[in-house]
Structure 1
Amino acid sequence: MTAPPPPLAAIVEMTSGIDPDANLATMDRALAAAAAAGAAMAFFPEMSVLLDRDRARSAAHVAPEADSPWPPIFQDMARRHGLWIHTGSAPFLTDDGSRRANRSHIVAADGTIVARYDKIHMFDVSLPSGESWSESSSYAGGATPVVVDTPLGRLGLSICYDLRFPELYRALVARGATLIAVPAAFTVSTGEAHWHVLLRARATETACHVVAAAQAGTHADGRATFGHSLAIGPWGDVLGESAFADRAAQGDFGLMLAPIDPAATERARQAIPLETSRRIRNAPL
């Protein structure tokens, strides 16, 4: 008897801007296309709903999750399109209102929010390109690794700069992850240097599929992002890469489909049995 084909992940590349309504409309169109293509789950980039480095201007849109219109919109989109959704991330005020959280939501096809994850590692860097970023001046980092069951497998959550901290991914695998999401808004300079090699390393060292939806192109707030959304197999092989960055100025979205085959994870873990070979075991996060 022929085995059914593996489920498809739809990876959406965007050029999100400073207008949440416009960004949400783009997400809705992307979900319609993903559903028509037969995807089981769609993945969006970091800050899919609002990408604005002007914190005073963006403040009008950022609220505690309980008061924000965005989660109910995510739920409605999931129900209408019949798809599981990884929202990428969006900014919310923390419960005490003192800072923001860079938060992902996983929404089931029936509209249920089944998981949330707050980005743990803050992007506080001064780059050789001259760019300087201080995410922790406005954002509070999360503290807890999150793994959730989805139609594509047991999904471990991370966001952008988390990618540089392999101990997080070890903690996700220890919690049963077979698939890892890395929504991102990588700068062009760091993307050119490190994006591909880091994603392939995380896939190879965990024997997980890695799905990385990225922001791409020049944004309304003046920044430029690297794009090149990727799907990586558990052997480190590139299953797909978006070329959307070449046309991001059109303000459209890019859509890439990737099969997520659980048998590939099993083959990789049997071929190189990292867990039985491991001798140094740090305490998980």
Structure 2
Amino acid sequence: MATKKVLASVAQFCAGNNVGKNLETVLELIKEGSRRGSEMIFFPEASDYIAENKQQGLELAQKIDGEFLTSIRQSAKQHKLWLSIGVHELAEGDRPYNSNVVVDNNGEIVSVYRKLHLFNVNIKNGPQISEANTTSEGSGVVKPIDTPVGKLGLAICYDVRFPELALALRELGSQGIAYPSVFTEKTGAAHWHVLMRARAIETQCYVYSSAQIGNHNAKRSSYGCSMIIDPWGTVIAHCPSNNEPSLATAEIDLEYVEKVRGQIPVFENRRRDVFRTNYDLL
């Protein structure tokens, strides 16, 4: 499907608990991406809302065919571009999925990945955070899909700390990996660049790191720095460090993916006889 060179963008904005306002922001960024000639735009995790508490989060969650995604699908079709966007997907029970949804240029949902790794920490006399209290856990890796930017693998935020997912996606054919994210300011400043660049270098894939930025409410703020990283590990586009909604755009060159992989053939040199995998079972 993909041509050798296309434009892609990563989005950045500060979502709150007003779903309608967040939708307006996403739709404006889609228009801007279309004006730039982007064939695919990558939006952050939780682009639909960031709630102030569990009850509010449950009340705001929509099914995958709800108004939020329906409006975004219509915009993708109107502007003839693809989207990857992080949303809360209402499911059975009291905890929605944290999902990365891919919409094609006909407005059709072509893939849904549900976050595998949920952030749970319980530090004595320190922070106690349990994403599992508010979010249902995904059940498996989703096979990469054909997009304008090549074979695309899907992940979400905290997944970046688990290289086995990125390696599995590369083994399954990925030429790029999408990580819609909401990194805290502290962990973002310490780990955002090094983790995302590491995933790009070890998989020799483009990495699309779209992120939330700014103060969402009195208890939560995000690091931002949405960026696109090439298969050599170079940051080739990044959003500004202010809270205004923005895009960063770069040319995606699939011939460069092939070149990097030819120069350092790490996946041909892997010791599969020692480090066994079951990617072929997916």
Task: Report the TM-score, using the length of structure 2 for normalisation.
Answer: 0.92
Is residue 269 of structure 2 the alignment partner of residue 277 of structure 1?
yes
Where in structure 2 are the equivalents of 1:232-247 lying within 5 Å?
A: 232-243=229-240, 245=241, 247=242
1:268 partner amino acid: V
Q: Is the partner of 1:219 in helix, strand or coil? A: strand
From 162, 165, 175, the equivalent of 2:162 is 165
> For the residues of structure 2 that align with 1:233 and 1:127, how far apart are their CA atoms?
36
How far is the alpha carbon of 1:65 from its aligned partner?
A: 2.9
Q: Which sections of structure 2, spanning at least 5 residues, go unmatched?
A: none
How far is the alpha carbon of 1:5 from its aligned partner?
A: 7.6
Q: Which sections of structure 1, spanning at least 5 residues, go unmatched?
A: none
**What's 1:185 paired with?**
182
> For the residues of structure 2 that align with 1:22 and 1:133, how far apart are their CA atoms?
27
**What's 1:145 paired with?**
141
Change (3 A) 1:268 1:242: same
Task: For residues 146-187 of structure 1, give each alpha carbon's deviation from its aligned partner in whole angstroms, at most 9, with x where no partner exists.
Answer: 211101101000000000000001111121100010110001
Task: For residues 217-240 of structure 1, give each alpha carbon's deviation from its aligned partner in whole angstroms, at most 9, with x where no partner exists.
Answer: 111353110001111110111112
CA RMSD of aligned residues (A): 1.9
**What's 1:265 paired with?**
257
**What's 2:109 paired with?**
113
Alignment check: 8 A CA contact 1:129 1:189 kept? no
Q: Is the partner of 1:7 in helix, strand or coil? A: strand
Q: Which moved more, 1:267-276 or 1:176-185?
A: 267-276
Where in structure 2 are the equivalents of 1:207-226 lying within 5 Å?
A: 207-220=204-217, 222-226=219-223
Q: Is the partner of 1:122 in helix, strand or coil? A: coil
How far is the alpha carbon of 1:260 from its aligned partner?
A: 1.1
**What's 1:204 paired with?**
201
Where in structure 2 are the equivalents of 1:48-87 lying within 5 Å?
A: 48-66=47-65, 68-87=66-85
1:264 partner amino acid: Y
Change (3 A) 1:166 1:186: same
**What's 1:40 paired with?**
39
1:181 partner amino acid: A
> For the residues of structure 1 that align with 2:218 and 2:87, how far apart are their CA atoms?
16
Alignment check: 8 A CA contact 2:27 2:72 kept? no
How far is the alpha carbon of 1:275 from its aligned partner?
A: 1.7
Change (3 A) 1:5 1:93: closer
Where in structure 2 are the equivalents of 1:1-40 lying within 5 Å?
A: 6-40=5-39
Is residue 254 of structure 2 the alignment partner of residue 256 of structure 1?
no
Q: Which moved more, 1:132-141 or 1:189-198?
A: 132-141
Q: Is the partner of 1:277 in helix, strand or coil? A: coil
> For the residues of structure 2 that align with 1:115 and 1:176, how far apart are their CA atoms?
16
> For the residues of structure 1 that align with 2:106 and 2:71, how far apart are their CA atoms?
13
Q: Percent identity?
A: 36
Q: Is the partner of 2:267 in helix, strand or coil? A: helix
Task: Report the TM-score, using the length of structure 1 for normalisation.
Answer: 0.91
Alignment check: 8 A CA contact 1:15 1:218 kept? yes
**What's 2:132 paired with?**
136
Alignment check: 8 A CA contact 1:203 1:232 kept? yes
Alignment check: 8 A CA contact 1:54 1:221 kept? no
Task: For residues 7-60 of structure 1, give each alpha carbon's deviation from its aligned partner in whole angstroms, at most 9, with x where no partner exists.
Answer: 111111010110010000000100111000110001100001111141212322
Aligned residues: 274
> For the residues of structure 2 that align with 1:101 and 1:221, how far apart are their CA atoms?
24
> For the residues of structure 2 that align with 1:239 and 1:126, how far apart are their CA atoms?
37
How far is the alpha carbon of 1:127 from its aligned partner?
A: 6.9
> For the residues of structure 2 that align with 1:15 and 1:93, how far apart are their CA atoms?
22
1:278 partner amino acid: R
